[in-house]
């Protein structure tokens, strides 16, 4: 019987906590270090003294990030592993035993390396994720503004599709500055809005302007404007990173496809489209549901090297969009759901927009699945298709051409005819066209 051979003989295993990290080096007693930066440098020196070249650590919350950066900058080959892959035996769960188990598994090559993008992508990721957090916080203040207006019986939320649109915010600002005349407030709206909804807006603006409700509206307005300012600052920093990333990996790619409009929360970054195309050397915004904003977020999550996933199946599985299977003997059932990554969520957002759209052929696919299995499964299945197309654009140089609903329905009809012909042959029947 052949025995396992060590792939990384000069390796260390690290178990990370909030206060201490435990380090296991073969033939050495386990040592622990505090989580201060100086202690991390001491840990790095200890690894160098023992001629360690490879280090494995568990992805514990956000505690791993600083230590990963320190060890990576000191020249170690650092592997971040999924805690589920290195789970210890029941009854042996201690920090000391955990780091020893990680080191032992890793030295034999039995732990998979989690995806950690290069440093510049991690920088971009910080700003894009922070931007999303600020937008979420801003949305709560929109709800507070709506609540304050309803308490004053100013019914703008019922009349306007977006109270935080240009017209709505202009009227709210005027109200807070002391304007009460409905005709004057209506003049802050766009011409088209006045034509379509002018009468209803005038009725909606006749309210009960009580002092305490105006104070509540002012607080919500100030909070909303504060977070919009925070978003703008995130855009400034993200723009700097994108320019640096583009200059470092400019692939000189250009195309003639029209730039899709970004309808909500558009980043204020100059030449965003050109910067992203230069970074990637392709234009995945030709895919249905994806805009430059989607691509910016995907760049922050995935970087620009799709080869880190060997196949499209690996990629879709990592995103958390692949259907899980569990087979044992004659038992064949769905496995426990895998968590969807942030990148997977971006593809699901794209799928949601396609589900409501009448133009792309994928919309027909999404609605057909929704009718049979429900909206959740339809969105996930459509997101998987978009992710596969995204991968193929980079891996094979595929160019996506939207064939539209009509072509998709024709293709579906052809498949159904093939299926019916097959069934007719099985039962020795003959299909007759009417």
CA distance 116 to 308: 10
* Other beta carbons within 10 Å of 298: 23
Q: Which residues of the chain have pLDDT under 70?
A: 1-3, 88-92, 324-338, 401-412, 434
> Which pLDDT score, from 0 to 100, does residue 82 have?
85
What does the DSSP assignment read for 358-391?
Answer: SSSHHHHHHHHHHHHH-HHHHHHHHHHHHHHHHH
3-state helix, strand and coil shares in percent for the chain, rounded to the nearest 5: 55, 5, 35
Tokens of 166: 């240009």
Using DSSP's 3-state secondary structure scheme, residue 409 falls into helix
> Which pLDDT score, from 0 to 100, does residue 1 have?
40
> Which pLDDT score, from 0 to 100, does residue 183 have?
93
pLDDT digit string, tens, across residues 45-54: 999 999 999 9
> Which pLDDT score, from 0 to 100, does residue 409 have?
61
Q: Which helix (H) or strand (E) holds 123?
A: helix 119-151
pLDDT digit string, tens, across residues 69-99: 999 999 999 999 988 777 766 666 788 888 9
Q: Which of 116, 123, 318, 46 is nearest to 14 (CA)?
A: 46
Q: Which of 343, 359, 286 is nearest to 273 (CA)?
A: 286
């Amino acid at each position: 019987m052949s025995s396992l051979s060590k792939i990384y003989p000069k390796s260390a295993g690290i178990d990370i906590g909030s206060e201490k990290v435990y380090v296991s080096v073969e033939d050495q007693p386990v040592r622990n270090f505090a989580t201060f930066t100086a202690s991390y440098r001491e840990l790095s020196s200890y690894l160098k003294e023992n001629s360690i070249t490879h280090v494995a650590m568990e992805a514990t919350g956000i505690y791993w990030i600083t230590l990963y950066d320190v060890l990576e900058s000191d020249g170690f080959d650092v592997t971040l592993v999924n805690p589920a892959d290195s789970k210890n035996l029941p009854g042996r769960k201690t920090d000391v035993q955990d780091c020893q188990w990680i080191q032992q598994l890793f030295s034999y090559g039995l732990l998979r390396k989690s995806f950690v993008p290069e440093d510049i992508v991690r920088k971009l990721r910080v700003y894009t994720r922070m931007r999303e957090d600020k937008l979420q916080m801003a949305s709560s203040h929109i709800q507070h503004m709506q609540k304050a207006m309803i308490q004053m019986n100013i019914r703008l939320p019922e009349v306007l599709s977006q109270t935080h649109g240009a017209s709505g915010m202009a009227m709210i600002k005027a109200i807070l500055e002391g304007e009460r005349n409905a005709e004057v407030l209506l003049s802050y709206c766009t011409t088209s809005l006045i034509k379509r909804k002018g009468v209803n807006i005038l009725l909606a603006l006749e309210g009960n302007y009580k002092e305490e409700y105006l104070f509540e509206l002012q607080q919500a307005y100030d909070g909303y404007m504060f977070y919009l300012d925070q978003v703008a600052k995130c855009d400034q920093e993200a723009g700097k990173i994108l320019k640096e990333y583009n200059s470092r990996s400019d692939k000189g790619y250009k195309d003639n496809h029209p730039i899709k409009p970004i309808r909500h929360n558009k980043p204020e970054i100059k030449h965003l489209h050109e910067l992203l195309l230069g970074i990637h050397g392709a234009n995945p915004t030709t895919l249905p549901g994806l805009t430059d904003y989607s691509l910016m977020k995907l760049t922050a999550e995935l970087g620009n090297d799709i080869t880190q996933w060997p196949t499209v199946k690996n990629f879709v599985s990592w995103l958390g969009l692949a259907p899980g299977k569990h087979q044992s003997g004659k038992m064949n059932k769905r496995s426990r759901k895998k968590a969807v990554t942030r990148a997977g969520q971006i593809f699901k957002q794209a799928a949601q927009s396609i589900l409501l759209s009448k133009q792309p052929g994928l919309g027909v696919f999404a609605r057909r699945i929704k009718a049979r299995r429900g909206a959740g499964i339809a969105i996930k299945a459509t997101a998987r298709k978009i992710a596969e197309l995204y991968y193929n654009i980079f891996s094979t140089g595929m160019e996506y051409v939207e064939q539209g609903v009509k072509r998709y329905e024709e293709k579906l009809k052809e498949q159904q005819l093939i299926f019916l012909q097959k069934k007719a042959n099985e039962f020795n029947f003959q299909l007759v066209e009417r």
